[in-house]
A = this chain, B = another copy of it.
Amino acid sequence: MTQKLPWRIVAEWITEGEACIRSVEKIYAAGATRFQEYLIGELAGIGKSLVLDGKVQSSLFDEHWYHEALVHPVMLAHTCPKEVLIIGGGEGATAREVLKHKCVERVTMVDIDAELIELAKKYLPEWHQGAFDSEKLELVFADGRKFLSETDRKFDVVILDLVDPMEGGPAALLYTLEFYKLVANVLKSGGVIVTQASSPILTPRVYATIRNTIASVFKITRPYITYVRSYNGIWGFVAASDTVDPARLSSEEVDELIKNRINGSLRFYDGATHQWMFTLPKPIRNMLESYKDIATDSNPVYVPV
């Protein structure tokens, strides 16, 4: 076990006393925006990465595992999404995946951190792949919650691509009952939403509480999971709707929908991957049943570190 020794290191603390450390082979940019500290660099194991406040947001190694898992199930479950709202999504990769859908006429991306998006445009071309230049993309620099409460527009799909809920963090109140009611408000009939939802293994209470909270607003709620090495484990999502059930798509239907409704190719998502994501192993099903709380503005849920 002999290796080159790392000297620049990013340590990602997972739980109390547990961290993943990665050598930083090269730094492209490092500093702080008004909202968060950032580092864009080459990290051992996962390659070029965006790190915000000590958390890897995505890496070239597997940003497609995350972004395709987030975007495509709800987009294909909808009959034909024309108006899509993304809250967060600074790297531009969520918009990139949404724009692959032929139905899409307009993508509205609301991100609070304009400086970060400038950095993404400059340093993360492998992520956005030109999405920021699309005529269909409308970029709004605003607090997502404020946008929801003020807009009178409606959307077919709402994608919540946020940082985890951390005490004092920019997404602290973007996982509460009051927030999801605002989301429901801007949804057209037949609409679907999805949110990243932290890790069912590392922060099970957070994941279950997000699921419970969403389930108290929408008629159909589907937790699903993938694995993201850059996030150090299994990662969870929650999709929801009053009318549409993404879990009911068969493997064959997904493959057919991809063929018909998506331009370009996918690297992660297909029919079998869809089945894999919506099938939860027994311990995660049991865990979800064991938590009953919901998150509200006055009693929100936070990841522990």
Whether a CB of chain B sits under 8 angstroms from the CB of A282 is yes
Extra inter-chain contacts (8) besides given A3-B17, A227-B281, CB under 8 Å: A1-B305, A7-B51, A8-B8, A18-B20, A201-B227, A268-B282, A268-B283, A273-B282
Indicate the size class of the contact surface on chain A. Answer: 35 or more
Whether a CB of chain B sits under 8 angstroms from the CB of A35 is no
A15 touches B45 (CB 8 A): yes
- Report the bound CA distance from A10 to B268 in whole Å: 33
- Report the bound CA distance from A234 to B2 in whole Å: 24
Picked from B17, B44, B54, B267, the residue with its CB within 8 Å of the CB of A44 is B17
A267 touches B279 (CB 8 A): no
* Oligomeric state, in copies: 4
Binary interface profile of A, 1-25, with partner B (CB < 8 Å = 1, else 0)?
A: 1111111111111111111111101
B232 touches A232 (CB 8 A): yes
B280 touches A276 (CB 8 A): yes
A17 touches B1 (CB 8 A): no
14 contacting pairs across A/B (C-beta < 8 A): A1-B7, A5-B5, A6-B11, A8-B39, A15-B44, A16-B23, A17-B23, A18-B46, A27-B39, A30-B30, A201-B229, A267-B282, A272-B280, A275-B275
Binary interface profile of A, 211-232, with partner B (CB < 8 Å = 1, else 0)?
A: 0000000000000001101001
- The closest CB in chain B to the CB of A55 belongs to B7
B22 touches A20 (CB 8 A): no
Q: A3-B305, A5-B1, A30-B30 are in contact. Are A18 and B17 (CB under 8 A)?
A: no
- Report the bound CA distance from A305 to B26 in whole Å: 20
A18 touches B44 (CB 8 A): yes
